[in-house]
């Protein structure tokens, strides 16, 4: 008999899961994606306004993790891939009343070159010396208790590197509190660098030597050379293409799952409007707190674990200007704002400098970020308040006095999962509990990485496990 798989959540994770299942299993099963919103894509959301391309949610993905790039190619989007503009690789940091370029050659917090750090006016001399001492600080024992990003950076590179570089750049990616953010669950490469080479500086110097001897080590030769990639018409083209590849009738928009129970060896999904669906397997690809609500009656312990994954709110405001109205050279990707500066924005992307085709000739598009851990009240506001706050901040930081041609703001309510200390153990426990329910899988940004490539991988893995399960069960029945 044809089996039914229901995927809850039509973000990039759920759509990838559905497509993978349909590719692998064809007519051997029926698959539905239940999505609460009226459009697929979840947090991936792009808009066109005049001749601008505006990203409301994510604006790019990294190429180091291959899954997103591979998916775009599979979907036939290779001609639309655009790398971030290579000429302008600087990111600025707002500090003591002005924008300072981040020292050249930084791999997030780890410097690859000594001279740019020494020359930088972002850091004080004691701060630079403290960073240099990192070379001599012995690594921690591998079995030492888990460290937060803040504890790790303070121990290795000092307080100033934490405040001016690691917190705005790294904790900023997760909109997180660096004192609570698990380094192991978010940036494990720095732990590996410490364990393998004894220090981050040693690891970076060795990396440089290897690259000199063998330039192929610089990266995957077949991938675009940029570290960040987007799509010409906006990232939403990826989720639109995924949705378009699904068998008609798969995607059920505007429906919301209220709860899930089990009856006669099947799952029963009860919708908000009281309708229900039966399924042999279920992939839960909604945010963890929404999934917790759905599984509360099925498994209260699992629900409790899922609820323990905290989320915070952020907001984005995109503003369009005439290029001549911006006094800054815009010679970089944008800037980040350390918490200690007490401003109400966390970062600003110079979107039209970052990727080609984001603004028409003679115009510029900038995007301001607000909120995150400890500052959610700044994000949880109406559109007019968000735009006004962004304008005030742009006047102070970039000297933009003009009114924007137009502005678009969006509050991402509880959209950013927090990978806090103990995250790996929490997820392991949630997955152990979920595995006790035959054919039930967790997938998405809350578990093994919140970046788009991580979500795609998570959706694909859940689909492959589901397909295997269905195939095994069919063999047993036969």
**Piece of 112-120, 281-289, 389-397, 465-473 that binds ligand FAD (CB under 6 A):** 281-289
11 contributes a contact to ligand FAD by CB under 6 A: yes
**Piece of 35-43, 355-363, 424-432, 466-474 that binds ligand FAD (CB under 6 A):** 35-43
- Total chain residues near ligand FAD (CB under 6 A): 36
Distance of CA 223 to the CA centre of its chain: 20
- Which residues are paired to 269 by β-bridges? 260, 277
Residues 146, 184: contact at Cβ < 8 Å?
yes
The token duo for 398 is 């970039």
**Residue from the set 20, 58, 71, 203 that interacts with ligand FAD by CB under 6 A:** 58
Residue among 9, 12, 5 nearest 31 (CA): 5
Residues 359 and 364: their CA atoms lie apart, in Å, by: 6
37 contributes a contact to ligand FAD by CB under 6 A: yes
Q: Which is nearer to ligand FAD, 256 or 261 (CB)?
A: 256
Residues 419 and 212: their CA atoms lie apart, in Å, by: 36
**Residue from the set 61, 267, 363, 419 that interacts with ligand FAD by CB under 6 A:** 61
Residues 46, 322: contact at Cβ < 8 Å?
no
Q: Which is nearer to ligand FAD, 59 or 194 (CB)?
A: 59
332 contributes a contact to ligand FAD by CB under 6 A: no
Name the burial class of residue 88, with classes exposed (0-12), middle (13-18) and buried (19+) by CB atoms within 10 angstroms of its CB: middle
372 contributes a contact to ligand FAD by CB under 6 A: no
364 contributes a contact to ligand FAD by CB under 6 A: no
Nearest distance in Å: CB 451, ligand FAD: 4
Q: Which is nearer to ligand FAD, 157 or 176 (CB)?
A: 176
**Residue from the set 5, 6, 8, 309 that interacts with ligand FAD by CB under 6 A:** 8
Q: Which is nearer to ligand FAD, 272 or 399 (CB)?
A: 272
Residues 407 and 206: their CA atoms lie apart, in Å, by: 46
334 contributes a contact to ligand FAD by CB under 6 A: no
**Piece of 115-123, 260-268, 325-333, 409-417 that binds ligand FAD (CB under 6 A):** 409-417
Residues 82 and 68: their CA atoms lie apart, in Å, by: 13
Residues 206 and 118: their CA atoms lie apart, in Å, by: 20
Nearest distance in Å: CB 330, ligand FAD: 19
158 contributes a contact to ligand FAD by CB under 6 A: no
Q: Which is nearer to ligand FAD, 58 or 111 (CB)?
A: 58
Distance of CA 11 to the CA centre of its chain: 13
**Piece of 88-96, 215-223, 326-334, 446-454 that binds ligand FAD (CB under 6 A):** 446-454
Nearest distance in Å: CB 355, ligand FAD: 11
Residues 92 and 100: their CA atoms lie apart, in Å, by: 5
Q: Which is nearer to ligand FAD, 157 or 415 (CB)?
A: 415
**Piece of 91-99, 240-248, 282-290, 371-379 that binds ligand FAD (CB under 6 A):** 282-290
First to last CA, the chain: 10
412 contributes a contact to ligand FAD by CB under 6 A: yes
10 contributes a contact to ligand FAD by CB under 6 A: yes
Which residues, 6+ apart, have CB-to-CB distance to 2 below 8 Å?
27, 28, 29, 30
Handedness of CA 154, 155, 158, 161 (dihedral sign): negative
Residues 174 and 450: their CA atoms lie apart, in Å, by: 8
Question: Tokens 């949630």 correspond to what residue?
Answer: 430
168 contributes a contact to ligand FAD by CB under 6 A: no
Residues in region 247-276 near ligand FAD by CB under 6 A? 256-257
54 contributes a contact to ligand FAD by CB under 6 A: no
Residues 22 and 30: their CA atoms lie apart, in Å, by: 8
Please report, to the nearest 10 degrees, the dihedral formed by the alpha carbons of residues 21, 227, 151, 135 taken in order.
130
**Piece of 77-85, 295-303, 344-352, 451-459 that binds ligand FAD (CB under 6 A):** 451-459
210-237 per-residue burial string, b: 16 or more CB within 10 A, e: under 16? eeeeeeeeeeeeebbebebbbbeebbbb
**Piece of 58-66, 178-186, 208-216, 395-403 that binds ligand FAD (CB under 6 A):** 58-66
445 contributes a contact to ligand FAD by CB under 6 A: yes
44 contributes a contact to ligand FAD by CB under 6 A: yes
The token duo for 277 is 């669906």
**Residue from the set 57, 158, 172, 371 that interacts with ligand FAD by CB under 6 A:** 57
| Positions in the binding site for ligand FAD (CB under 6 A) | 8-14, 34-37, 42-44, 57-61, 256-257, 285-287, 290, 314, 316, 412, 415-416, 444-445, 450-452, 455
């Amino acid at each position: 008999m044809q089996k039914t798989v229901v995927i809850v959540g039509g973000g990039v994770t759920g759509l990838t899961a559905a497509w993978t299942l349909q590719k692998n299993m064809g007519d051997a099963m029926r698959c539905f994606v239940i999505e609460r919103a009226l459009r697929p894509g979840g947090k991936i959301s792009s808009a066109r306004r005049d001749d601008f391309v505006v990203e409301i949610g994510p604006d790019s993905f990294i190429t180091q993790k291959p899954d997103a790039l591979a998916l775009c190619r599979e979907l036939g989007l290779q001609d639309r891939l655009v790398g971030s503009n290579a000429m302008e690789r600087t990111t600025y940091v707002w500090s003591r009343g002005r924008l300072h370029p981040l020292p050249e050659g930084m791999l997030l917090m780890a410097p690859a070159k000594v001279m740019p750090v020494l020359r930088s006016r972002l850091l004080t001399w004691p701060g630079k010396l403290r960073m240099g001492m990192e070379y001599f600080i012995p690594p921690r024992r591998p079995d030492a208790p888990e460290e937060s990003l803040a504890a790790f950076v303070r121990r290795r590179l000092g307080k100033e590197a934490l405040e001016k570089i690691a917190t705005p750049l790294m904790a900023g990616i997760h909109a997180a509190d660096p004192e609570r953010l698990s380094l192991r669950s978010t940036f494990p490469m720095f732990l590996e660098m410490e364990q393998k080479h004894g220090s981050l500086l040693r690891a970076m110097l060795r990396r440089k030597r290897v690259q000199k001897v063998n330039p192929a080590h610089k990266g995957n030769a077949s991938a675009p050379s940029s570290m960040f990639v987007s799509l010409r018409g906006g990232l939403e083209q990826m989720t639109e293409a995924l949705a378009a590849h699904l068998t008609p009738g798969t995607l059920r928009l505007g429906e919301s799952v209220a709860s899930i129970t089990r009856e006669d060896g099947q799952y029963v999904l009860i919708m908000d409007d009281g309708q229900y669906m039966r399924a042999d397997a279920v992939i839960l690809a909604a945010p963890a707190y929404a999934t917790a609500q759905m599984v509360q009656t099925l498994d209260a312990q699992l629900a409790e674990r899922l609820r323990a994954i905290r989320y915070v709110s952020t907001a984005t405001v995109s503003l369009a200007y005439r290029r001549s109205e911006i006094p800054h050279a815009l010679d970089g990707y944008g800037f980040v704002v350390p918490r200690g500066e007490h401003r109400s924005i966390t970062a600003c992307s110079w979107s039209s400098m970052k990727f080609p085709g984001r603004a028409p000739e003679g115009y510029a598009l900038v995007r301001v970020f607000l909120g995150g851990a400890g500052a959610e009240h700044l994000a949880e506001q109406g559109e007019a308040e968000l735009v006004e706050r962004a304008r005030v901040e742009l006047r102070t930081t970039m000297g933009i006095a003009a009114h924007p041609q137009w502005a678009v703001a969006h509050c991402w309510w509880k959209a950013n999962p927090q990978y806090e200390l103990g995250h790996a153990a929490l997820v392991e426990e949630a997955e152990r509990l979920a595995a006790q329910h035959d054919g039930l899988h967790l997938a998405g940004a809350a578990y093994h990485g919140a970046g788009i490539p991580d979500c795609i991988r998570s959706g694909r893995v859940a689909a492959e496990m589901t397909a295997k399960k269905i195939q095994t069960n069919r063999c047993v029945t036969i």
